Chain A
Amino acid sequence: MIAYLLRRLVWGAVTILGVLLFLFWLFVLYAQPEDVARRALGEKAPPEAIAQWLVNHGYDRPAVWNPEAPLDTRLFDHLSRMLRFDFGASDADDAPIAARLRSGIGPTLGVTLPLFAIGLPLSLALALGVAFFRDTYIDRLGVVVCVLAMSVSILLYILGGQFLLGKLLRWFPISGFDPDPGLALRFLALPVFVGVLAGLGSDVRFFRTVFLEETGRDYVRTARAKGAGDARVMLRHVLPNAMIPVLSAVSLTIPFLFTGSLLLESFFGIPGLGSITVEAIQNNDFATLRVMVYLGALLFIAVQVATDVAYTWVDPRVRLE
């Protein structure tokens, strides 16, 4: 158990290092810092100002290898600062990135947590329902509806939701955000609704497959033979046993919540991490984008390791592997 945990942790650390090296190559070696500087300083910046900007942002130092001072390189700087969560200043306006991230976490969680807390149980329940009525028209219809739903681009969900529910039917305020939690709930209702709807198709279909696979197993037949009712079999036997594939699927979607909310946030005017990312894209703000990619990967790796640990807790057999 301990050895397994350690192995996972080492794997996580190595992967983080890999991500950091990749980001270094992409944003520091491949991207041209002069472009970034010019973008930040405006079109009228004289060459001296650009040179000064490069010095201020540490772009003048050797990239990988400095014979005089081995630690005074951009690679070392990049690694140590990312690992210490010292993110520095934005390339676009020199504002500290960390402060901006702190201000964005609240609104982002305001979207993603309800999205998760409503979306997951809802799709599990629907999938359970569809699986329960297997071999009836409900199942067939359900699958068709799911495939239809997952063939629609998320952009259309957002546009449609905003246009139909916000503008025409006026169910929700069409966009916006308010730091006051009471008001925020009203504003978050539409993006959460749209987000849940957009994810429902593929989730329900996937969970249905998982449930059906479980219902085909021996223990279900045994339970049935012992006279357990359909509903009881589903809830007491199939659902718990399907938790492992569900868990692994969910763990994969957690980082997607982070990026999925990227579009939702920027479209509904929610000043969260997603909006910050979209802004960084529009402003060619490589420093901020680098941090966002890093944090996204970090989240993914952390969730992966946590899931592996959770497996051993949900299903003791995993430990034997």
Chain B
Amino acid sequence: MVQDPDRFEIVLTEAYPQILFWFAMPFTSPVPWEAIAAYDGQEGRDRFADHPVGTGPFRIAHYAKRSRIALERNPTWWGTEHPEWRAPAAIYPTEGAPGDAEAGLLPPDVVGQPLPFLDRIEMRFEKEAIPSFTKFVQGWYDRSKIPKESFDQAARGGTLSPEMQARGMRLERTVMPGTYYLGFNMRDPVVGHDAGDRGRKLRQAMSLVVDAPEFQRVFLNGRGVTAQSPVPPGLFGYDPDYRNPFRQVDPERARRLLAEAGYPGGVDPATGRPLRISFDTGDPSVQGRLRYEFFVAAWRKLGLDVEIAATSYNQFQDKIRRGAYQLFMWGWIADYPDPENFLFLLWSEMGQTQSGGPNTANFGDPRFDALFLATRDRPNDAERMAGIVAMRDLLETERPWIELFHPEDYALLHGWLSQVKATGLTVPVFKYYAIDPAPRAEARVAWNQPVRWPAWAALAIAFAVVAPAVVTWARERQ
């Protein structure tokens, strides 16, 4: 309901405390309707998606979605036009979380100064791992995520390598509020609900041999927090001390459970062959396949014949929609910091095959549903905690998911970039950053001295090869 040109009111028809989070999401940022009307994509005009207009401290100077985005200081930003307001989001914070002052994030000459500090921000999209990290190391980028491939160069074991420290680089790490998992399709007759206790034991056995820390070590360079339940760290309901008994590698117990499930040694008595399970993926790339192979190898040790069905993302979507899948790998990153945002992924009403919801595992358990609805809208109190623990314990034995890890983001910064704090969910933090351009210019020169001798060597070899022939020819001509 619009109250006046600057205010409106939203009336909720049911209790939904999470709506406050929604207003912090990108899709509720205010945009001028005139811009949406003007950039309609008709008759050669840009579309709004390619020409966004917002209300932030920066505006877009160049926008090529998949190669380069440039932002420049917005001279008409309300924070710049009205420094006298000293609005909280328009000046550098005067106080921080414990430890921020010690970390040098509250320098006295900056605190309380109007934002932003940067005039221009250039962002480049780098698809390939070699160039992106090399360019950071050579000083062409101020800040870079660490591609997993370059990780050992940068930060083995969570601290920065000595070479990098010598170059004045810093490491920034954040555990993301997200969870990656392997999911079973619970509507499948072999691995799902209908298989009853056999299916449960099969899922438990498969869960017991998936070595998530090893996966993190091999593919993520040890990054990430091994997941024990769907709720990630940083959210209410996450218990750092909880150890899921089915997520500790125990091949012996897995074999026993598999035998109890009626597949001794992984062999399906109906066929006399190893039980065949298809692992459906929408990523046929080599890199993707290697990751799936990791899990398949573990299950193969149990005697199960898990086959990777790697199709295009398209065909994978189609399989998901038709419910024609058994096993998949998926991840979910929080939209907002509330456990409801993760637990609803297993709520029966969100069933993928039935209602197109994000419950891709098609998990549907009345006990879980009741607990979920009871805790969904509660404030974060002991009762909610008890409900979440009860759901966790239910998932522990039911195993619709094999939880893998909560991702962790590592980023590298050069010494000349300051006032950066790792933030997890918060995206718009550029306005706090500051850069000291002089050392950057020096470093770029110093770090990019070409090694020229191979060129001279190549020329010399070419000359040495050709010269005798030329000499012979000249002599013959005489």
Contacts and interface: CB of A to CB of B under 8 A. Distances in A.
Interface of A: 35-36, 38-39, 43-44, 46, 93-96, 103, 129, 133, 136-138, 141, 159, 162-163, 166-171, 173-177, 229-230, 266-269, 271, 275, 279, 284
A284 B313 contact: yes
Most B Cβ at <10 Å: residue of A103, A136, A176: A176
B453 to A, nearest CB: 9
Contacts of A170: 138, 448-451
Interface stretch (B128-136, B177-185, B192-200, B426-434): B128-136
A294 to B, nearest CB: 22
Contact of A171 (B128, B134, B450, B469): B450
Contacts of A136: 469, 472
Given A170-B451, A175-B135, A46 B356 contact: yes
Contact of A174 (B50, B135, B450): B135
A141 B452 CA distance: 26
A137 B471 CA distance: 13
Interface string B48-72: 0110000000000000101110000
B128 A267 contact: yes
Contacts of A94: 41, 47
Nearest to A138: B469
Q: What are the 6 A-B residue pairs with the smallest beta carbon separation, nearest first?
A: A175-B131, A271-B67, A169-B451, A174-B131, A35-B314, A138-B469
7 contacts: A35-B318, A38-B318, A39-B313, A138-B466, A168-B451, A169-B454, A269-B128
Interface string B121-143: 00011111011001100101000
Interface of B: 41, 47, 49-50, 64, 66-68, 124-128, 130-131, 134-135, 138, 140, 312-315, 317-318, 320-321, 356, 358, 448-452, 454-455, 465-466, 469, 472-473, 477
Given A133-B473, A138-B466, A168-B451, A162 B130 contact: yes
Contacts of A271: 64, 66-68
Given A38-B317, A138-B466, A271-B67, A176 B473 contact: no
Contacts of A129: 466
A275 B66 CA distance: 10
Contact of A39 (B41, B317, B451): B317
Given A136-B469, A266-B127, A176 B135 contact: yes
A141 B465 CA distance: 9
B459 to A, nearest CB: 14
Contact of A35 (B66, B135, B315): B315
A167 B138 CA distance: 9
Given A174-B135, A269-B124, 17 more contacts: A35-B314, A39-B314, A43-B320, A93-B49, A133-B469, A136-B469, A138-B469, A166-B134, A167-B134, A169-B450, A171-B450, A173-B140, A174-B131, A176-B135, A176-B140, A230-B473, A269-B127
B282 to A, nearest CB: 9
Nearest to B449: A170
Nearest to A270: B67
A174 B139 CA distance: 12
B356 A174 contact: no
Nearest to A141: B465
B455 A171 contact: yes
B472 A44 contact: no
Given A46-B356, A95-B47, A138-B465, A166 B131 contact: yes
B454 A38 contact: no
Nearest to B62: A179
Nearest to B476: A230
A35 B356 CA distance: 16
Contacts of B140: 173, 176
